[in-house]
Amino acid sequence: MPSDTARPWDVFLTDADRAVLSKGRFGRRMGFGRRAAVLVIDAQRYMVGAEGDDAAWPSSCGAIGRASLAAAAQVVRAAQQAGAPCIFTRFELDPEGRDIGVYGRKRDLLQSPHWCLAGTRGAELAEGMEPHARDLVFVKKKPSAFHGTPLLGYLIDRGIDTVIVTGGATSNCVQATVFDAASYNLRAIVPQEAVFDRIPISHAIALFDMDRQFADVLPMEEVLAWLGTLRDGTAPA
């Protein structure tokens, strides 16, 4: 596994773990393809709360989330300037819980305008998330952005072979989306600074699991540099 940049998961690995990774030759770089789309996963108000008022937002990731969304906004702007599509997902639930499914067996339906209930402020895209006219925004009901949505069809129609996945939470919807992207043989790139989670260990281990086998977890600078090479959304031959 590449060791040129310190990663959040490094502190959790033992020498025995590193030997397993080396023997199995895990963590190679897949690299970028020719055409990319940026997926912005659940960059909503309920995910990042409000500075000085996080206690009122039951699912807020706080300052960490707000900093990561600021980084994600840089990736979005770079993609928009390069002519690459950006696709924003919003997770929202019926206020009566009719569409919560099995998730309702693990967590209470929170009756709060600061959560992800349809029609509330919490379900809106967060400040700084600004889709262009050519971008797409749709609601999803499950962790993966692919499950029960038109995402795959949009990507096929646009000839996309690479998805740059940003947003939150790393261990939930980001990871689920990355795993499904790999299942569809898409290259998945995760800008490390542009994803976030509520719990540091969940964030670190999710990044590790993605980088080990299903995605390239990269410094955001590398992603921005590659986006800067695109012309009309396509990489040079």
pLDDT (tens digit per residue) in 126-152: 999 999 999 999 999 999 999 999 999
Is 200 a residue whose pLDDT tops 90? yes
Which are the contacts of 165, defined by CB distance < 8 A and separation ≥ 6? 39, 41, 174, 177, 178, 181, 188, 189, 190, 195, 215
Quote the pLDDT of residue 5.
Answer: 56
Position 1 confidence tier, pLDDT thresholds 50, 70, 90: very low
DSSP letter assigned to residue 115: S
pLDDT for the residue 3: 41
Residues 6+ positions from 132 with CB-CB distance below 8 Å: 80, 86
What is the pLDDT confidence band of residue 2, given thresholds at 50, 70 and 90? Answer: very low
Question: Reduced to 3 states, what is the DSSP secondary structure of residue 95?
Answer: coil
> Would you say 191 and 220 are in contact if contact means Cβ atoms under 8 Å apart?
yes
Residue 69 has pLDDT above 80, yes or no: yes
Q: Check whether 237 has a pLDDT greater than 90.
A: no
pLDDT for the residue 52: 95
Rounded Cα distance, 224 and 25, in Å: 27
Helix (H, G, I), strand (E, B) or coil at 233: coil
Please state the rounded mean pLDDT for residues 70-77: 98
pTM for the model stands at 0.95
Give the pLDDT mean for 52-72.
Answer: 97
What is the rounded CA–CA span in Å between residue 74 and residue 77? 5
Query: How high is the pLDDT of residue 6?
Result: 76
On whether the CB atoms of residues 88 and 129 are closer than 8 A, the answer is yes
Q: For the residues 99-117, what does the mean pLDDT come to?
A: 96
Mean pLDDT along residues 171-180: 98
Rounded CA-CA distance 179/114 in Å is 29
201 band by pLDDT with thresholds 50, 70 and 90: very high
pLDDT for the residue numbered 105: 96
What is the rounded average pLDDT of the residues 213-219? 97
